[in-house]
Each structure stands twice: as structure tokens, then as C-alpha cells.
Amino acid sequence: MLAAACARRPRAPPFIDPPGYALHRPESTLLYRLVEQHYPDFRELRAREGRSLPGYVREEFDAYLKCGRLEEGFLRVRCEGCHAEKLVAFSCKKRGFCPSCGGRRMAETAALLADEVLPERPLRQWVLSLPFALRFLLATDADSLTLVLRTVYRAISGFLLKQACVFHAMSGQGFT
């Protein structure tokens, strides 16, 4: 009886892609082609100069070149309802270089923050946008970064205290 019920159930042809799904093909992206073409020469050049790349950099590039490629490993997943099957390539799960894994990690982190971490209260977000020249300076000079962040902190906290009708003498919080 069970065999007869299974025989009557409509079956999807294997490896059907759901509507709107596009298989990720990293080898077709410009970044992938550039890394694949130039990374081995770059690594060799650095080694000849006696300045080989750090291990974590080599691991990041090597993992990126394997990420999302079916020939590097995959899982076969199957829908229990319609029996459609799909191959899902392994991903590198790295943080720094792979746009696909970095984007997925960013989306997962945003969902976690929105769903579980941040309270269900109004939040205010402040964005500080700086000219590129100043960004480069602050990225390399900790003392300058400290001065800028101190100024930003004073401006934002002063605004919030004013909005809350809390004054310097009442707040107990000094400004440095």
C-alpha cells in the first residue's frame, strides 16, 4: 500500500532549480578571474623577494578560489515533498575576502542583531562620514583617531543631554 501511494505521488525531475534561484558561479565573476590569473604569480614574486605572504593571507586566497565550486565538494539536498534534488557547493566561510561569504555573514549578523540582540525600543543610529584623505590618516594614526572620536562623542552626547533636558551640572557626566 505504501509503495502504491509513493508511486502515485508526482515526482519532480532531479536537479530542478526553484523559481528565482540562480546557481552561484564564482568562476564567472571578474574578481575570481583576476585572483585566479594573478595570485599565483604574485605569491611567487613575493617568495622570490624573500617576503612571502603570511599564512592567513595564503589561506584566505586559497579558500576563496575553492569557494562555491562543485568540483571542490558539495552536498546533495533533496526535498522530501517533491523529491527535487539540488547540489550545494561548499563555501569557504572566510571573513575577509570572499564577497559571497562576507555578504552572507553580514546578513546573518544583521538578522541576529535585529531579531535577538537589540531591544524592541526606538534606536538612533549615527553615521560619521569622512573624506577619504582623512579616513586614511585616521586608519594609520591612533592619536588623531582618538581626537576625532572624542569630538564626535562630545557632540553626540551633548545633543542627547540637551534633548533630554539634562544639563552639565545635573548629569554628573563630565566632558573631557
DSSP secondary structure of 125-162: -------HHHHHHHHH-HHHHHHHHHHHHHHHHHHHHH
Tell me the domain boundaries of the chain. Answer: 11-104, 126-176
The predicted structure's pLDDT at residue 66: 93
The predicted structure's pLDDT at residue 118: 83
142 CB-near residues (< 8 Å, 6+ apart): none
- For residue 176, the Cα-to-chain-centroid distance in whole angstroms is 36
Written as tens digits, the pLDDT of the chain (176 aa) is 555 545 555 555 555 556 666 677 888 899 999 999 999 999 999 999 999 999 999 999 999 999 989 899 999 888 888 888 888 889 998 877 788 888 888 899 888 888 888 877 777 788 889 999 999 999 999 999 999 999 999 999 999 888 888 876 554 555 54
Q: What angle do CA 6, 7, 11 make, to 5 degrees?
A: 85
The predicted structure's pLDDT at residue 81: 83
